[in-house]
Each structure stands twice: as C-alpha cells, then as structure tokens.
Chain A
Amino acid sequence: MVVNVPKPQDELLDLLDGYHSLFIVGCGGCPVGCDSGGTERIEELATFLTKNGKKVIGSVLIDFLCNKALVGSKLIYHIEKLKGTEGVVVVSCGIGVQATGKMIDIPVIPANDTLSSQGMQGLWPSEERCAGCGTCYLALTGGICPITSCSKSLINGMCGGQHDGKCEVETDRDCGWYQIYTRLKEVGKLDNLKKIPRLRDYRKMDVSDTERNTTRWALEKENMYEAPQQSSEKEEA
C-alpha cells in the first residue's frame, strides 16, 4: 500500500489558481484503502471544487493509476471531455499522478500528498518513482517529480551539472529538471517555477504515530480487526 492523504484544501486551491475547467481522475487502489480516494472522495472533491468556482467537466475512477497502460486505455473513453479541460486533478499517490501526466498533454494536479513508506512503488511498478516527501510538488512541475527524478532532489531548479539534457551523475541518466523545464515549456506553464516553495520540510517524510497506527499503514496491525468487530456488535444489538 502506498499511503496517501488528502492535501490541505487551501493548498489544493492555491495550486488550482488560474484553472477553470477540471477533470478528476481517481485511483481505485491504495487511496481507497487509505480513505483518501475512491468514488466518495471524487464526489466530495467535485462538490468542493464547484463550490470554489471551478467547473468539473467529468471524473473517472481507474483501478490502479500506477499501471500506465490501464490509465491510457480508460482515459481514451473520456477524450472529448478531456479536450476541453485545463487541468486534471488526480486523486492518488505521486506515482499515479506522474503516470497520468505521462498519458495526457494536460497539466496534472495532485489532490493528495504521499507519505513515506520507504520504497513501495505501486502495484505496477514502472519508471515513475515516489519518495513519499509528504509535499507533492507535481502540480507545479509538469507531473514530473523533482525529488525522485533529480539526483540531488532539488526543488529550486536545474543545477549546473545538466549537460545535453543528462545528469552529471551518469551520462545516460536524464536530468529531471531538464524534463520538467521542457514539459512546462510545452504546456506554457514555466511560471509555475516561481511558485514552488523554496525550502523543504523533512518532517513530512517522517510519518506520525497517528498515521502509523492505522490499518492502512500495516494490514497486520491489531486494530484492523476492531472496525468489523464493532460493526458486528452493532448489528447484534
């Protein structure tokens, strides 16, 4: 399970500043288990966005957004709606946001922040990587993660080591910031780079006790069984 939690509402609205028409893509995998996604969350989100002056053109729940082939094959049914959309709000972990971003030419905006689970890369691991930084930057970086695609995990832009689009660490490694720059230029959003917070908060990578003690963090935790027991008691009563 890749644990992800809803972004603070104010932060999400900030990221959506300037966007009018939106489409929501939700993941039916981990976020459902985390209570941070699924049909209900998509509906809540649509209501919230509409209340805040956004036009939600449509939405879709796809089983696992970490599976790009699946994402593509499902989004194709919504192509007409997507054509008239300025941004796609993605309800998933950072991997799902990146994978969705790869399949469409529309800016993607994460609705969730991913917590660090120290290495889990989704159920269909592909090239996208999420470090669980707890501060998903993907809305501002063209759906390409600066933390995992940059060898120095820089958030303030390309360092001096970029050479022909490659990283200074290895000649065949792509420079993440070169990709972010190219992508943002393509979609006319280079101004996004001015909005990225300049300092990282590493506390967000250290998952709190409250989060660790949920059933979604570790399925074998004892309290996983509390919920069904309580409900069956209620039924008996």
Chain B
Amino acid sequence: MSRLQESLKEGKFTITGEIGPPKGVDLHHCMEDEVEYIKDRVVAINVTDNQSSVMRISSQSICALLVQKGLEPILQITCRDRNRLAIQGDVLGAYVQGIRNILCLTGDHNSAGDHPESKPVFDLDSVSLLDAISSLKEGKDLAGQELEGVPEDIFQGAIVTPGADPVEMQLIKMERKIEAGAQFFQTQAIYDTVAFENFMKEASKFKVPVLCGVVLIKSAGMAKYMNNFVPGVQVPDEMIKPLSEAPKEDRPKKSVELMSEFIKEVKPMCEGLHIMAMGWEKYVPEMLDMCEL
C-alpha cells in the first residue's frame, strides 16, 4: 500500500505537493529546488503530465527518479497524448519502477499548448482511464486479456473542481469517477470557503477522501488572470485587495498569511490538502507552519 493510501486510510490529514518536469534535460530546478523545499512536508508529490499541453520530460521519468530518492510520487496521466495501448503500457511500466499512485485526468486540449498542430488523442478520458486501471488491478487489460503479474496495489485518484459552474455536473462526474474506481480526489484551486463547504456537503456523501487544492496567489495580477481565464477558479476581492496594497517585497508574506487563514477554515471540511506552489515552493513550509501542519 502506498504511503498516500495508508495516510488517508488511517484518517490522517494528508498533504500532497506538486512539481512540473522541465522542458529539457536540466533537472536542477525541478529535482533540487522544488522538491527539496516540500519533500519533508508532504506525503506524496504529483508530477504533471505535459501540463497545459506544453511538451516536457515525461511525468513517468521524473516519478521514477523520485522513487530512487526514496520519495513517493503521484504519476499524473492525461488522455491527450496517448491511446489506450500506450497508457496501459505506461501504467504497468510505472508499476515496475515502483510508482503506486496515479492521478487520472482528461487533459487540456492541444490548442492551449506549444504544439497546437498536434493530434488530440482522447481515446480514453478521465473516467475510462480509471476504468482501465481498475481492470489492470483485477488482472485484465481493457480488452479482457489476462496479465502476467497483477498491479493490485495501485492507488488511483482523480480531480474535481469545487468552484465550477454548474457544480452539479462536477458532482455527477465525480460519482462516475468513483464508479470507475477513483479512490481519492484532489481539487482544482479554490479560495471561497463557503463554496467549498457547500461542495463538500454534497461530495462527502461519496465517502472518498478529498484533498483541497491550494495555489498560492503571487500577485493581484495573477488572481485577476485566474478569475478571467482559469475555469472554475474565483479569487474573492477580499484576497485580491490586501495583495494589491502590499509592497512587492511583502507579497509572499501576505499571500502565505491569506492562504493559511483559508487552510485553517477548510481543514475540518476535508481529508487533506493538495498544494500546487508553482515556483513558490520555498514559501510552503512557512505556510504549513502557520497552520500547524
């Protein structure tokens, strides 16, 4: 059983982090800077899969390196770039490299990234990918062929956007993901405690652990960008104002304060946090200290 699964099973408030592989083979920033700051504060680390449809080192390779370092990765798999043969092969390949946690996503459309002329695959999507992994865990591939050696203890999760409109559709899909085998959820970033509470009132009935998504807001500009362009994310004015008023050098401190207040409020509502620091990994320990986590 992965440490992530064990932690959630024991009912501990569980924290995960996230890193993005580099474009190119210089691993310094990703493996030294980002990982070093968060590794002692999280149970497992997500590694994104060609995030935002931008080509980078594969998630699986970075996950394997994390395993070598004694850290626990969460392999993110999107359905944009590979069909069901490739993905199932990767799941088995990841398993033999010691990777146990997998997060299943549909993936952004190619048009958003740096290879907009590429072929969108989407042979599977988040739900059918969960189905595929469930099937592998039971000893058969999607075509019903028997496996030699079964990856029984893969721990598979999915994502949900608590701030999406309509949230009802999110809950319908969340339920479908659970039927397909989702064992945990990480959420898209959310800043509105009331919206999160309302969402959790519905979502908690599924009895599947939910890790609340946390993205540190670096500036008022970033908040406004997210409000305009990131679906399902709404940063309230009460958070934007103090950031825009703070002098530039005080912004990280202000941001950490704001997020720790948010975390304290949502902590009783969910099973953990998923922290996406996006370059601000060095502020994560301070933020968690403030929350006594």
Residues of A within 8 A of B (CB): 151-164, 168-170, 177-178, 181, 185, 190, 193-194, 198-200, 202
Contacts and interface: CB of A to CB of B under 8 A. Distances in A.
Contacts of A162: 164, 231
A159 B131 contact: no
Contacts of A178: 166, 169
B192 interface: no
A170 B126 CA distance: 22
B106 A159 contact: yes
Contact of A156 (B109, B125, B231): B125
Contacts of B142: 199
B231 A198 contact: no
16 contacts: A152-B122, A156-B125, A157-B127, A157-B176, A159-B125, A159-B126, A160-B106, A161-B109, A163-B232, A164-B165, A168-B112, A169-B109, A177-B169, A178-B166, A190-B172, A199-B142
A27 to B, nearest CB: 30
B111 interface: yes
A168 B109 contact: yes
Contacts of A181: 166, 168-169
Interface string B94-127: 0000000000001011011000000010111111
A148 to B, nearest CB: 13
Contacts of B46: none
Given A168-B108, A181-B166, A158 B176 contact: no
A93 to B, nearest CB: 23
Interface of B: 106, 108-109, 111-112, 120, 122-128, 131, 142, 159, 161, 164-166, 168-170, 172-173, 176, 180, 188, 229, 231-232
B112 A160 contact: no
Nearest to B177: A156
A198 B127 contact: yes
Given A160-B164, A190-B172, A168 B231 contact: yes
B176 A160 contact: no
A198 B176 CA distance: 9
Contacts of B173: 156-158
Contact of A153 (B122, B166, B170, B232): B122
A154 B231 CA distance: 18
Contacts of B164: 160, 162
A152 B232 contact: no
Contact of A152 (B106, B127, B229, B231): B106
B132 to A, nearest CB: 8
In the complex, which of the residues B120, B122, B170, B229 has the most CB atoms of chain A within 10 Å of its own CB atom?
B122
A193 B172 contact: yes
B188 A160 contact: yes
Contacts of A199: 124, 128, 131, 142
A152 B80 CA distance: 9
B176 A156 contact: yes
A202 B161 contact: no
Contacts of A200: 123, 128
Given A161-B231, A181-B166, A198-B180, A152 B125 contact: yes
A169 B111 contact: yes
A156 B120 contact: no
Contacts of B159: 160
B244 to A, nearest CB: 24
A178 B168 CA distance: 11
B169 A157 contact: yes
B234 to A, nearest CB: 11
A168 B230 CA distance: 9
Nearest to A154: B125
